[in-house]
């Protein structure tokens, strides 16, 4: 028999908890003497606590004391906090930064063409046949669905199934469905191009 948790029994003893929880706990208590004893102990404890008298506490005074302590702590923190004195100018750091800027600036000028001994060497210009288009291309191959951009490609492979349906739309999406002959499971690959 699964017994309810102790905190659920304590809530039942105090009359707290939801209707469904109370219904389930009371149904369990009809058949379980151990849990009935625990609920009775919790009820006795609640009645003893209700008879105790707590001292009168002035909550407004306590709140004012807490605010004063917080203010005092903030002021003490401000006294201890030190301000940092800005460091003086460092010529080595300035020289290193200027050298870096000069190197980066000259790399932009030399990037397109290099000058060696006063002769300008032209960069390699590829012919039209060797240019790979950068526009993404979707296509269905014998092994799956492929998306290709330039020389990079991503292929969704399916080695175990036979393609039985493929769809292509003008909006840039391709779908291919495969059926596995052994298990009869269907695999669906959809690729969308935006």
For the chain, what is the mean pLDDT?
77
SS3 track for 122-191: CCCCCCHHHCCCCCCEEEECCCEEEEEECCEEEEEECCCEEEEEEEECCCCEEEEEEEECCCCCEEEEEE
Helix, strand, or coil (residue 25): helix
Look at residue 149 and give its three-state secondary structure: strand
Residue 107 burial (CB count, 10 A): 9
pLDDT tens column, 80-94: 776 666 677 788 888
Q: What percent of the chain is modeled with pLDDT above 90?
A: 11
pLDDT per residue as tens digits for the range 87-121 = 777 888 888 989 999 888 887 777 655 454 454 54
Distance CA 113, CA 101 (A): 20
Take residue 181 and report the two structure tokens written for it. Answer: 């002959």
Surface-to-core class of residue 43, CB atoms within 10 Å of its CB (0-12 exposed, 13-18 middle, 19+ buried):
middle
DSSP string, 75-127: HHHHHH--PPPPPPP-HHHHHHHHHHHHHHHHHHHHHH-EEETTEEEPPP---
Sequence ranges of the domains in the chain: 6-51, 130-192
CA-only gyration radius of the chain, Å: 40
> What gap in Å lies between CA 12 and CA 55, rounded to an integer?
28
Whole-number Cα distances in Å, 113 to 8, 103, 104, 110: 80, 16, 15, 5
Write the pLDDT tens digit of every residue in 35-91.
999 999 999 988 888 788 777 778 888 889 999 989 888 888 877 776 666 677 788
Q: Using an 8 Å Cβ cutoff, are 172 and 194 in contact?
A: yes
Mean pLDDT lowest among 109-113, 120-124, 139-143, 144-148 = 120-124
Q: Could you give the CA distance from residue 139 to residue 191 in angstroms, rounded to a whole number?
A: 10
Which H or E element spans position 165? strand 161-168
């Amino acid at each position: 028999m699964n017994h309810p948790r102790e905190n659920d029994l304590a809530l039942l003893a105090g009359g707290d908890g939801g209707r469904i929880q109370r219904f389930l706990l009371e149904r369990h208590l009809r058949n379980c003497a151990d849990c009935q004893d625990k609920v009775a102990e919790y009820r006795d404890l609640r009645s003893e606590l209700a008879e105790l008298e707590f001292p009168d506490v002035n909550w407004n005074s306590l709140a004012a004391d807490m605010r004063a302590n917080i203010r005092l702590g903030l002021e003490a923190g401000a006294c201890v906090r030190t301000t940092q004195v800005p460091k003086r100018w460092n010529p080595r750091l300035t020289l290193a930064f200027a050298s870096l800027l000069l190197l980066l600036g000259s790399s932009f000028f030399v990037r397109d063409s290099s000058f060696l001994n006063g002769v300008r060497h032209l960069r390699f210009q590829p012919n039209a046949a060797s240019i790979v288009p950068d526009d993404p291309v979707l296509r269905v191959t014998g092994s799956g669905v492929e998306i290709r951009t330039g020389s990079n490609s991503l292929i969704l492979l399916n080695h175990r199934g036979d393609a039985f349906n493929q769809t292509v739309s003008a909006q840039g999406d391709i779908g291919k469905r495969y059926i596995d002959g052994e298990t009869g499971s269907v695999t669906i690959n959809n690729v969308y191009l935006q």
